[in-house]
């Protein structure tokens, strides 16, 4: 563990400022979106978000002080724990709006898929960095995808298609930073499309649903939102109206589309619509610039990392944030299907906030080691 002077001197303050600005921006928008949701309690959602932020901040500081090599030694324990959490939510979870994604802990609800994403990043990164001598081996690529597919399957069964997509995107990103040949990705794309087509034809014959009706509705809405304007397409249409009504500089307190509840889930999945209506193009652009700064610093840390484990981890975090931002903002403006993926650091959600703040702590730990470790880097990740 570094001394406090070295620790404070070698932190990536640009990354921290970008993260702090995103969290602050998000909390402000949650307040404006929810201040009228509960009579006499304008701060109820903000208060819960601040508690999650506090827990995440403490966890991030602790993680940033630890040598991330520790996670390599317990990689299989982390993986088993990740799988256990997403399996446990099916029998023990609380059903909300037809989905079983949370476990009720009494004082709060816990979302296992968000925590599992963090544990999977640590375990998959360790697995790959321990096998640099097998770079290009098809078995490594296959095994990593199987490792990711197991928890992704159980998350999909919750059902939570969006989070299962994020898990698989994380695995593919880590394979990329590991140095997996492009031919492997091409083969995976062909195999994935073929397997999906076969599953669509075969599994229904056995009485198994590949795609649930609400997921089909979301795809139809993506193609033609107006076809189900008062049903499955309602959220998307209201979101697009909110984004468009914000114009260049926003409507401020006149942002009725989101504050008067025309748009459901305005503080979670569709928080970007709140930003756009209230702050306009200017506010949305500022938010996206903050994300760009965060991703730039994370990729910079991946390049400067002193070992492959740090490089793979940092790269995985960077692209995971990019993926979630792209999908979330895309579904808000109607260029992506609705998947339920939150906006990192901005959407309301305690477990997701804590997990991504811990990711920031990991990035700082990798950056700290890069700044203080002796020059040189080993491809074996040691």
d(CA 246, CA 280): 4
- On the 0-12 / 13-18 / 19+ scale of CB atoms within 10 A, 182 is exposed
Q: In terms of pTM, does the model score above 0.85? A: yes
CB 93 within 8 A of CB 100: yes
> Which residue numbers in the chain have pLDDT < 50?
378-382
pLDDT tens digit sequence for 341-353:
999 999 999 999 9
d(CA 281, CA 115): 33
Which of 127, 120, 125, 121 has its CA nearest to residue 85? Answer: 120
* Residue 232 backbone dihedrals phi, psi, to 5 degrees: -65, -25
d(CA 282, CA 298): 25
- On the 0-12 / 13-18 / 19+ scale of CB atoms within 10 A, 128 is buried
Which of 237, 248, 247, 226 has its CA nearest to residue 334? Answer: 237
In sequence order, which residues have a C-beta less than 8 Å from that of residue 236 and are 6 or more positions away?
221, 222, 225, 331, 334, 338
* Residue 17 backbone dihedrals phi, psi, to 5 degrees: -65, -40
d(CA 302, CA 363): 9
d(CA 341, CA 270): 9
Q: What is the pLDDT of residue 375?
A: 59
CA pseudo-torsion sign 54, 58, 64, 69? negative
d(CA 195, CA 211): 14
CA distances from residue 190 to 138, 195, 319 in whole angstroms, order as listed: 15, 9, 22
d(CA 255, CA 12): 36
Which of 366, 317, 311, 315 has its CA nearest to residue 65? Answer: 366
Instruction: State both tokens at 341.
Output: 């993926």
pLDDT tens digit sequence for 213-235:
656 666 655 666 666 555 566 77
d(CA 348, CA 52): 10
End-to-end alpha carbon distance in the chain: 18
Q: Domain locations in the chain?
A: 4-372
d(CA 263, CA 274): 9
Strands lying side by side in the sheet with 99-104: 94-96, 99-104, 109-110
d(CA 294, CA 296): 5
């Amino acid at each position: 563990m570094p001394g406090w002077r070295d620790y404070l001197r070698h932190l990536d303050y640009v990354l921290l400022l970008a993260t702090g600005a995103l969290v602050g921006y998000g909390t402000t928008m949650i307040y404006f979106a929810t201040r009228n949701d509960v009579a006499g309690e304008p701060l109820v959602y903000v208060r819960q978000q601040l508690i999650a932020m506090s827990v995440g901040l403490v966890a991030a500081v602790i993680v940033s002080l630890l040598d991330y090599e520790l996670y390599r030694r317990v990689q299989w324990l982390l993986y088993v724990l990740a799988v256990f959490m997403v399996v446990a939510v099916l029998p023990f979870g609380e059903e909300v709006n037809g989905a079983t994604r949370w476990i009720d802990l009494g004082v709060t609800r816990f979302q296992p898929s968000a925590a599992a994403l963090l544990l999977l990043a640590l375990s998959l990164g360790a697995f790959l960095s321990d096998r640099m001598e097998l770079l290009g081996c098809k078995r490594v690529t296959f095994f990593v995808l199987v490792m990711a597919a197991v928890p992704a399957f159980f998350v999909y069964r919750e059902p939570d298609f969006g989070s299962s997509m994020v898990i698989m995107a994380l695995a593919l990103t880590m394979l990329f930073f590991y140095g997996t040949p492009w031919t492997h990705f091409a083969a995976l794309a062909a195999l994935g499309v073929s397997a999906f087509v076969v599953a669509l034809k075969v599994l229904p014959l056995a009485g198994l649903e590949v795609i649930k009706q609400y997921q089909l509705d979301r795809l139809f809405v993506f193609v033609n939102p107006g076809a189900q304007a008062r049903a499955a397409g309602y959220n998307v249409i209201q979101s697009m109206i909110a984004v468009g009504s914000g114009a260049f500089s926003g409507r401020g307190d006149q942002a009725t589309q989101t504050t008067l509840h025309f748009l459901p889930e305005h503080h979670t999945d569709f928080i970007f619509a709140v930003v756009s209506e209230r702050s306009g193009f200017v506010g949305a652009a500022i938010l996206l610039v903050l994300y760009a700064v965060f991703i730039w610093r994370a990729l910079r840390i991946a390049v400067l990392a002193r070992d492959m484990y740090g490089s793979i981890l940092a790269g995985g975090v960077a692209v995971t944030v990019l993926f979630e931002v792209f999908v979330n903002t895309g579904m808000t403006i109607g260029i992506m299907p609705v998947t339920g993926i939150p906006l990192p650091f901005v959407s309301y959600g305690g477990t997701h906030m804590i997990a991504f703040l811990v990711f920031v702590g990991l990035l700082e730990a990798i950056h700290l080691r890069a700044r203080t470790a002796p020059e040189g880097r080993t491809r074996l990740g040691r």
